[in-house]
Amino acid sequence: MIFAEMVYPDEYCDFHKELKAYVASNFAHWDSGLQCDSWFWIFDGDQKVAIDTFSSMKHQIKSSTPGPLVQRVIDILKIKYEVNVYARPELEGHEDGHAI
């Protein structure tokens, strides 16, 4: 599910390095990559939140379920960046409920 989308003037590939530094300074357990898309995975126990550009030209905050880590990621991002939080999480294309 997509919970929010970041707003910034740069192309996501140009913004990746700055966002990586911010994620690294605020979260202990994370991973990232930049190859055609920009992605970050933030972990806390069995929770995982993604910040990625897989389905948008801007970074979106995603998780398979709502939870405290999603909210913490959004809150921390909002300290420094503009973040549009969706009133209701949106499903990604692969989450449309149809069996493959």
Q: What is the pLDDT along the chain (100 residues), one digit of tens a residue?
A: 999 999 999 999 999 999 999 999 999 999 999 999 999 999 999 999 999 999 999 999 999 999 999 999 999 999 999 999 999 999 887 666 544 3
For residue 93, what pLDDT is reported?
Answer: 72
Query: Is 52:62 a contact under the CB 8 Å cutoff?
Result: yes
Can you give the CATH number for the domain in which 23 is found? 3.30.310
The owner of tokens 């990586």 is: 20
Q: What is the DSSP letter of 90?
A: E
Burial class from Cβ neighbours inside 10 Å (0-12, 13-18, 19+) for residue 71 reads: middle
- 82 lies in some domain: yes
- 52 lies in some domain: yes
Sheet holding 30-35, edge to edge: 30-35, 37-44, 47-52, 60-62, 2-7, 82-90
For residue 96, what pLDDT is reported?
Answer: 62
Domain that holds residue 6: 2-86
pTM of the full structure? 0.90
Domain count, the chain: 1
Query: Is 30:22 a contact under the CB 8 Å cutoff?
Result: no
For residue 76, what pLDDT is reported?
Answer: 98
- 100 lies in some domain: no
